[in-house]
Structure 1
Amino acid sequence: MATPLAYQASLPASPEWLNKGDNGWQLAAATLVALQSMPGLVVLYGSIVKKKWAVNSAFMALYAFSAALIFWVLLGFRMAFGERLLPFWGKAGPALSQSYLIRRAAMPATPHHFRNGTLETPMMEPFYPQATLVFFEFTFAAITLILLAGSVLGRMSIKAWMAFVPLWLLFSYTVGAFSLWGGGFLYHWGVIDYSGGYVIHLSSGIAGFTAAYWVGPRLKSDRERFSPNNILLMLTGAGLLWLGWSGFNGGAPYAANITSSVAVLNTHVCAATSLLTWTCLDVAFFKKPSVIGAVQGMMTGLVCITPGAGLVQTWAAMVMGILAGIVPWFSMMILHKKSALFQKVDDTLAVFHTHAVAGLLGGLLTGLLAEPALCHLFLPVPGLKGAFYGGGIMQLVKQLVGALFVVAWNLVATTAILLAISRFTPLRMPDEQLMIGDDAAHGEEAYALWGDGERYDATRQVTMLTAAAAEEAMHPMREINGARGVTIQL
């Protein structure tokens, strides 16, 4: 019996450059990152908000994931990882044709040269097809947009969000991705961002905070009380986010190698350390542990380790976890309450603190703690190492300059995009819709429970009610055999 073409050792099904282990791991890592968004953040957002915003919040994540994929393959991938157009931007183009997607993956702007022009580090060419790289990098772009959405939940117009997603992807995200990963000026200068502390987390935190400023605040009642509608589901989403981070940082080397293993271990060690640190601070200052606080501590640990996950030793990952639990906790619980700007800008899920602050912290700590041997295994610019290993102050300067570029670009680009959108459609829902929530925005509600402030309508019941049953339903408090109970109409 003939061997099927897909399993033959010769071309075209299995070219000589294809490493099946790397390809399998990269596709698995991409799927893990995708699961962080779908369903991870969809579930997390839908449960961490008030009941009246559950559907809208989940849908914003769902829409961003879908729209980002389409615009990524149409234009975005090659703007972020294609040929150089500007020092911070690649040439736009589609990633749709068979001839492009089945050839060996390559990032044409990544060859690094000595000052005299001779080649020092060759072009990044992973051992799998371009299609694998396109999908893997898409999952990073999508989750950045979904994280950004956390700043504007509970009031941004869905029409404005639908326009914002593709524009921000193309004119903001691709700039950071090319500059730091795709062969841009920060990549060749030696700024370290292992897996997105700057490209994803610092950018989503700054852009989210900027968007929250321009969109405007939630209703006063929502700002004062915005408790989760389902903490157990919130933990489910958080768990998917945490475990999915294995693909997030484990896939960054573009291969199933030693760096991947170190990165995965460091990721979970830092996240656990940060969660415990945050929880201890909650107990010390507020006398009880907060479940939401634990999730925030988990998040800041994951974010903080991301810029250096495969480049620091595991003891250093624990140090980063301790600081990731302390610094964002302090900025959120202390500075936020004392700052007029933080009080004015309504950042719904505190994305600025959990992502911008933690991402910047991680980038600077990487400049201190990046271990030379681990850097040599991964980084395109030879000789890079943290200041604690003899790298000197210059690596910290590079990390700071890289962060400032990401902050400035996201602030300006996000502002320009939202001001342009506001000329065609309001950025914020009208107050009458904000009072109602999901039913006004989508005509749908998360839970089919009657009694949450709405008028009872017997005609909306699925089962047929007799006149007597309907009359009884109108009076939920009944004495039955001497006992008083509540009748809930489902």
Structure 2
Amino acid sequence: MKKWLLATLLLLPSLVLAEDAPKLDSGDTAWMMISTALVLLMTPAGLALFYGGMTRAKNVLNTYAMVFVGFSVAFIAWVIAGYSMAFGTADGGLNSVIGGLSNFMLEGIKWTDLSGTYPTFVFIAFQGTFAAITVAIASGSIIERMKFSTWLVFAAIWTVVVYAPIAHMVWGGGFLFDAGTLDFAGGTVVHMNGGLAGLVLAYLVGKRNGYPKIAMKPMSVMLTALGAAILWFGWYGFNAGSAFGANAVAGVALLTTTIATAVAAITWLIIEWTIFKKPTLLGAASGVVAGLVAITPAAGFVGVGGAIIVGAVGSVIGFFGVAFLKKKLGYDDSLDAFGIHFLAGLWGALATGIFALNDQDLLWDGPLKASGDRMGQIMVQLESIAVVGLVTLVGTVIVYFIASAITGGGRVDEETETVGLDEAVHGERGLNI
């Protein structure tokens, strides 16, 4: 893909001469609208069920609400200011790290404007679902004890001041984009970002009362497995949609996503069957998500062989993160957002540099495309991992304390936590049985 075309896809049409202006393609437009709907389905349905099934019955409704309402708040924040901060332009040297406010409230964008071969409004909505699911991922680390009001304030601010700058640096014309970072659909921007934010919040909010001495069994493994299945289905919009059109690259992403995920599910089962002597449905569902996360940054860049390795290793890393690292370090990441999303996403980001095909028609501009410099590409991937990790870490801490100050503290009181957040906060029960 020529760099000017990629820039066009990222809403920099001023770089393109008038006579080369793209024309609307109805097939690409239809595919991008469907992809947007698929990514939306991943969160209020897929991720909410995946998380809800893993929590205790007295908190299942609150867990669902954290995802469902958090997604909505984040999407609103995205349209108001997040999009502009991610894909707008800032004055001077600031543009290397953050976009400006030139498109605040989508100012200056007409309904007839195009991003590549489909409407800019569709691109805005598509990218907004990415921002919103990143916020929702982080909620999995602090369910059952974070105040709902604090979470909503956090989601709004974090979308604009943490997610948007990272998206700009990697995708929107920032310095990592210019360096040639390869992140096809969000290994760094979405999964590392959301997973690490979750871990930071888990440490700041503190452990659940009784953790880890009291058994906190999942309410319904069946709901979790259903959520994983919906995530897998919706992920085709996430990955294949990131080809920005109904084209051959989308086909590559669709196939690599499927094979990596299937391999990851079986790998997780084999590991736990070997170690714990029981192949669990929860393990299979966790393997599915680990595989989806790991292949996300590589989906449109690798072949089937690379996808198999990415999925298998991503599952191994996710398993040991959940089963052993969590116990070793003692943190209470309630639903393992860090163990699966951050760790598998980190592996996927690095593996993209290792396994990306040296095919000039697949790659974005970067060391590997420019000169076949494999090690140079790996170093760029490592740079993006380090930068995203640092920005997420610092930014999440700052935003949490701001949100806590606004809402009078970040954690529910002991009585609310004991009774359960469903009745104490929402006045409802997830299950009236």
Matched, 1:46 2:52: yes
Aligned counterpart in structure 2 of residue 102 of structure 1, from 111, 121, 131: 111
> Do the aligned residues in 1 keep the contact of 2:162 with 2:392 (CA within 8 Å)?
yes
Give the corresponding residue for 2:428.
444
> Do the aligned residues in 2 keep the contact of 1:43 with 1:58 (CA within 8 Å)?
yes
Structure 2 counterpart of 1:28, one-letter code? I
Give deviations 1:126-159, integer Å, cap 9, x for gaps.
1111110010001101110111111111100011
Structure 2 counterpart of 1:379, one-letter code? W
Partner SS, residue 300 of structure 2 = coil
Give the corresponding residue for 1:71.
77
Aligned counterpart in structure 2 of residue 432 of structure 1, from 403, 411, 415: 415
Aligned counterpart in structure 2 of residue 364 of structure 1, from 337, 350, 354: 350
Question: How far is the alpha carbon of 1:337 from its aligned partner?
Answer: 2.6
Give deviations 1:400-427, integer Å, cap 9, x for gaps.
1110000000000000111222233111
1:336-351 superposed matches below 5 A: 336-338=326-328, 342-343=329-330, 345-351=331-337
Give the corresponding residue for 1:58.
64
Aligned counterpart in structure 2 of residue 35 of structure 1, from 27, 41, 45: 41
Moved more, 217-226 or 92-101: 92-101
Structure 1 counterpart of 2:248, one-letter code? I
Whole-angstrom distance in 2 between the partners of 1:127 and 1:175: 25
Whole-angstrom distance in 1 between the partners of 2:156 and 2:24: 33
Question: How far is the alpha carbon of 1:34 from its aligned partner?
Answer: 0.4
Question: How far is the alpha carbon of 1:16 from its aligned partner?
Answer: 7.4
Give the corresponding residue for 1:151.
141
Give deviations 1:368-422, integer Å, cap 9, x for gaps.
110021x53341447538xxx9533221111111100000000000001112222
Partner SS, residue 384 of structure 1 = helix
Give the corresponding residue for 1:3.
none
Give the corresponding residue for 1:17.
23
Give the corresponding residue for 1:478.
none
Give deviations 1:426-446, integer Å, cap 9, x for gaps.
111011100011111111111
Give the corresponding residue for 1:453.
none
Whole-angstrom distance in 2 between the partners of 1:98 and 1:160: 29
Give the corresponding residue for 1:455.
none
1:87-236 superposed matches below 5 A: 87-94=96-103, 100-105=109-114, 125-220=115-210, 224-236=214-226
> Do the aligned residues in 2 keep the contact of 1:197 with 1:304 (CA within 8 Å)?
yes
Give the corresponding residue for 1:354.
340
Whole-angstrom distance in 2 between the partners of 1:285 and 1:188: 45
Question: How far is the alpha carbon of 1:92 from its aligned partner?
Answer: 2.2
Give the corresponding residue for 2:396.
414
TM-score by length of 1: 0.80
Question: How far is the alpha carbon of 1:332 from its aligned partner?
Answer: 2.5
* Greater radius of gyration (CA): 1
Aligned counterpart in structure 2 of residue 391 of structure 1, from 366, 370, 373: 373
Q: How much is the aligned-residue C-alpha RMSD, in angstroms?
A: 1.9
Structure 1 counterpart of 2:169, one-letter code? S
Structure 1 unaligned residues grouped into runs of 5+: 1-14, 106-124, 450-490
Aligned counterpart in structure 2 of residue 313 of structure 1, from 288, 292, 303: 303
Give aligned-pair identity as a percent.
34
Whole-angstrom distance in 1 between the partners of 2:207 and 2:108: 48
Partner SS, residue 376 of structure 1 = coil
Moved more, 259-268 or 317-326: 317-326
Higher-RCO chain (CA-CA 8 Å, sequence separation at least 6)? 2
Summarize the Cα distance change of 1:423–1:347 in structure 2 as closer, same or farther, 3 Å threshold: same
Question: How far is the alpha carbon of 1:38 from its aligned partner?
Answer: 2.1
> Do the aligned residues in 2 keep the contact of 1:215 with 1:428 (CA within 8 Å)?
yes
Structure 2 unaligned residues grouped into runs of 5+: 1-20
Give the corresponding residue for 1:474.
none
Give the corresponding residue for 1:254.
244
Summarize the Cα distance change of 1:53–1:191 in structure 2 as closer, same or farther, 3 Å threshold: same
Whole-angstrom distance in 1 between the partners of 2:404 and 2:22: 52
Hey, which of these two has a bigger chunk of helix by percent?
2
Partner SS, residue 152 of structure 1 = coil
> Do the aligned residues in 2 keep the contact of 1:376 with 1:382 (CA within 8 Å)?
no
> Do the aligned residues in 1 keep the contact of 2:321 with 2:340 (CA within 8 Å)?
no
Structure 1 counterpart of 2:388, one-letter code? V
Whole-angstrom distance in 2 between the partners of 1:156 and 1:222: 18
Structure 1 counterpart of 2:401, one-letter code? L
Summarize the Cα distance change of 1:234–1:418 in structure 2 as closer, same or farther, 3 Å threshold: same
Question: How far is the alpha carbon of 1:216 from its aligned partner?
Answer: 1.1
Whole-angstrom distance in 2 between the partners of 1:337 and 1:312: 34
Question: How far is the alpha carbon of 1:72 from its aligned partner?
Answer: 1.1
The alignment of Structure 1 onto Structure 2 pairs a total of residues equal to: 408
Question: How far is the alpha carbon of 1:62 from its aligned partner?
Answer: 1.1
Question: How far is the alpha carbon of 1:335 from its aligned partner?
Answer: 3.0
Moved more, 18-27 or 86-95: 86-95
Whole-angstrom distance in 2 between the partners of 1:350 and 1:223: 18
> Do the aligned residues in 2 keep the contact of 1:191 with 1:399 (CA within 8 Å)?
yes
Whole-angstrom distance in 2 between the partners of 1:306 and 1:223: 36
Partner SS, residue 185 of structure 2 = coil
Summarize the Cα distance change of 1:433–1:93 in structure 2 as closer, same or farther, 3 Å threshold: farther
